[in-house]
């Protein structure tokens, strides 16, 4: 097997305003994201030779992308990999470019969720016996929160305080981001007193349901400098897909997500990262729930097992901290249009590496940024980890 490191470059990206976009459907969102990317890359739509579009449930085939962007019968693959969809669309686009089959391609992630009228996430379900608990994601992730407190002997009130600090951190970062759905601060007390969604997770422990799209234009690394100087290189791409092991194995502990660890291992190995805590300058991670972010600090090797709460108390992962996590506000402030989130994450890393993150720009000049994108539920996940860096 070969490494993806330094073989593919991002030369342009776009990201819509995320939120309850009553004004836009999936087509509108794709146009918004793509045309920002074209402009950023300095390319024309006609230059795109192939495309990968990720969506979980907004449409079925790549035809929607062709129709939205008026693409001229080019090959388009529709990708789906739960909440890691966008990163997987991006990943497949990278491999096609690295293989030398295509010179310039588009990776798009999009989701239109707000036409259902429902509270909480609604995902399409194929017909079956329907005996599994009808629980949307909050209850599934809450299983990890309940167990985390028990496993590490932390009183639940104390764990909820730690989780609240993560929500507060991300909300603060979101106030600095005009593309985020939520741009307001919350206090720890507000988080702790919020209505319960799936005990022990309350309203502010959960990311919202929203609409959005994000896009990236990719070329082979050796061609990138003819487009711009500050192109961003793909350093590593890891994907790990679970097979329900955690629900079939009665010894799975619910306080670590093995898929995260495996995906990160692949990405770190490709990028040559030996000490993630020291070598990674910022991380945009999948904070679908506050407990998810807490656990993945440990899974991604940013701290040791069980030390997540101590790091949160120490402020390690704030914007001013040693390793800023979710500088753009995360899923907490963007919401989670499922098929779009992974590329929205890459957008923030891309801008940070280019020094264009404005008030969110981290103090240290970033050289290596990580995105982490997670689908499924504790016991069976699809985890994608990607690493990006500036040109050496």
Partner 1 sequence: MAGILACGAYIPRFRLGKETAGWGSPLEKAVANFDEDSITMAVAAAQDCLRGLDRSQVDALYFATTTPPYLEQQASALIAEALDLRPTVFATDITNTLRGGTIALRAALDAVMAGSARQALVVAADSRMSAPRGEWERSLGDGAAAVLVGREGGGAEILASHTMTEHMLDTWRTPQDLFVRSWEDRFIAEEGYQRVVPQVVSEFSQRHGVVPKDIDRVALYAPDARRHQDMARRLGFRPEQVVDPLFGKVGNTGAAFTLLLLVSALETAKPGDRILAVGYGDGGDVFLLRATEGVERVRSNRRLVSRHVEAKRILPTYETYARWREVWVSEAARRPPPPMPSVSALWREKEANIRFYGSRCNACGYTQYPPQRVCTKCQAVDQMTPVRLAETYGTVFTYSMDYLAGTIDTPLVVAVVNFEGGGRWLGMMTDREISEVRIGMPVELTFRKLRTVGGVHNYYWKCMPVRA
What does DSSP assign to residue 288?
Answer: S
CB of 1 to partner 1, least distance (A): 22
By CB under 8 A, is residue 192 in contact with partner 1? no
By CB under 8 A, is residue 194 in contact with partner 1? no
Could you give the CA distance from residue 42 to residue 253 in angstroms, rounded to a whole number? 49
Could you give the CA distance from residue 156 to residue 173 in angstroms, rounded to a whole number? 26
Applying CB under 8 A, which part among 11-19, 25-33, 143-151, 303-311 lies near partner 1?
143-151
Applying CB under 8 A, which part among 132-140, 233-241, 276-284, 320-328 lies near partner 1?
132-140
Could you give the CA distance from residue 219 to residue 9 in angstroms, rounded to a whole number? 5
Could you give the CA distance from residue 240 to residue 262 in angstroms, rounded to a whole number? 6
Applying CB under 8 A, which part among 164-172, 245-253, 299-307, 315-323 lies near partner 1?
245-253
83 is known as an active-site residue: yes
Rank residues 140 and 170 by Cβ distance to partner 1 and give the closer one. Answer: 140
Task: Determine which residue in the list 115, 185, 222, 244 makes contact with partner 1, applying CB under 8 A.
Answer: 244
Q: 3-class DSSP state for residue 366?
A: coil
Task: Count the neighbouring beta carbons within 10 Å of the beta carbon of residue 363.
Answer: 10
Task: Determine which residue in the list 2, 22, 127, 229 makes contact with partner 1, applying CB under 8 A.
Answer: 127
Candidates 15, 83, 94, 206; catalytic one: 83
CB 93 within 8 A of CB 111: no
By CB under 8 A, is residue 249 in contact with partner 1? yes
CB 287 within 8 A of CB 297: no
By CB under 8 A, is residue 153 in contact with partner 1? no
By CB under 8 A, is residue 155 in contact with partner 1? no
Phi and psi at 114, nearest 5°, equal -85, 15
By CB under 8 A, is residue 46 in contact with partner 1? no
String marking each residue 334-353 x if it binds partner 1 according to CB under 8 A: --------------------
User: Pairing between strand 368-377 and 50-54?
Assistant: unpaired
- The set of catalytic residues is 83, 336
């Amino acid at each position: 097997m070969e490494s993806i490191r330094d073989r593919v470059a991002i030369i342009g990206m776009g990201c819509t305003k995320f939120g309850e976009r009553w004004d836009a459907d999936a087509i509108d969102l794709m146009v918004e994201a793509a045309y920002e990317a074209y402009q950023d890359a300095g390319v024309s739509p006609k230059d795109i030779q192939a495309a990968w579009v990720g969506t979980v449930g907004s449409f079925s085939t790549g035809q929607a992308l062709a129709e939205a962007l008026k693409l001229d019968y080019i090959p388009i693959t529709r990708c789906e990999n739960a909440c890691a969809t966008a990163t997987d669309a991006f990943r497949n686009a990278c491999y096609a470019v690295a293989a030398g089959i295509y010179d310039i391609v588009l990776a798009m992630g999009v989701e239109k969720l707000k036409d259902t009228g429902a509270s909480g996430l609604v995902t399409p379900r194929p017909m079956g016996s329907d005996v599994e608990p009808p629980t949307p994601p909050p209850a599934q992730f809450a299983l990890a929160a309940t167990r985390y407190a028990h496993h590490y002997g932390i009183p639940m009130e104390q764990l909820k305080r730690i989780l609240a600090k993560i929500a507060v951190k991300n909300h603060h970062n979101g106030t600095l981001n005009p593309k985020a759905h939520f741009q307001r601060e919350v206090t720890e007390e507000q988080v702790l007193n919020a209505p319960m969604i799936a005990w022990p997770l309350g309203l502010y422990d959960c990311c919202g349901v929203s609409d959005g799209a994000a896009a990236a234009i990719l070329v082979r690394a050796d061609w990138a400098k003819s487009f711009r100087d500050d192109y961003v290189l793909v350093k590593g791409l890891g994907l790990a897909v679970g097979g329900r092991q955690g629900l079939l194995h009665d010894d799975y502990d619910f306080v670590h997500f093995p898929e995260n660890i495996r995906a990160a291992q692949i990405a770190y190995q490709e990028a040559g990262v030996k000490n993630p805590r020291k070598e990674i300058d910022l991380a945009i991670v999948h904070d679908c729930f506050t407990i998810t972010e807490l656990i993945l600090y440990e899974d991604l090797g940013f701290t040791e097992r069980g030390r997540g709460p101590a790091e949160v108390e120490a402020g390690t992962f704030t914007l001013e901290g040693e390793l800023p996590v979710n500088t753009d506000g995360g899923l907490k402030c963007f919401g989670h249009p499922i098929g779009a989130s992974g590329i929205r994450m890459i957008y923030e890393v891309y801008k940070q590496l280019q020094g264009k993150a404005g008030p969110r720009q981290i103090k240290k000049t970033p050289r290596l940024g990580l995105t982490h994108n997670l689908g499924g539920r504790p016991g069976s996940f699809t985890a994608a980890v990607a690493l990006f860096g500036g040109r050496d």
